[in-house]
Amino acid sequence: AQSVTQLGSHVSVSEGALVLLRCNYSSSVPPYLFWYVQYPNQGLQLLLKYTSAATLVKGINGFEAEFKKSETSFHLTKPSAHMSDAAEYFCAVSGIGANSKLTFGKGITLSVRP
């Protein structure tokens, strides 16, 4: 069984401030981990993924995430928020088998204040 916890439903930061979105996972097998972003009225777009290579993963738009097995965490960060980062962010976990399915967290809405 696998699950994802994204604490809180909304995060607000000022433009230029650090973005930190938390994700904790539970998995009975070594996981693959993903962060997706969803802009209003659009589908989900992959930001970055961890697939058992480097624990620090860099993604698009300046985002990165670090896999910490001891903490079962995969937090998403960006050093300096832009207005265009305002969106909903989803963390997801899967197993590594061919028929493994994604399990999503409930999502976090990021607002960026000017």
Residues that bind other proteins in the complex, under the rule CB under 8 A: 9, 34, 36, 41-46, 49, 90, 96, 98-102, 104-107
The CB-of-32 to other proteins minimum distance in angstroms stands at: 8
C-beta of 87: minimal distance to other proteins in Å? 14
Judged by CB, which is closer to other proteins: 62, or 107? 107
User: For residues 14 and 42, which CB has a smaller minimum distance to other proteins in the complex?
Assistant: 42
If 0-12 CB within 10 Å is exposed, 13-18 middle and 19+ buried, where does residue 81 land? buried
- Give which of 3, 14, 102, 17 is closest to 51, Cα–Cα: 102
Cβ proximity to other proteins: between 70 and 99 the closer is: 99
Tell me if 75 sits within 8 A of 20, measured CB to CB. yes
**What does the alpha-carbon distance between residue 71 and residue 24 come to, in Å, rounded to a whole number?**
8
Least distance from C-beta 98 to other proteins, angstroms?
5
User: What 3-state class would DSSP assign to 36?
Assistant: strand
Cβ 14 to other proteins shortest distance, Å: 26
Count of helix runs (H) and strand runs (E) in the chain: 0, 12
Query: For other proteins, which is the closer residue by CB, 56 or 98?
Result: 98
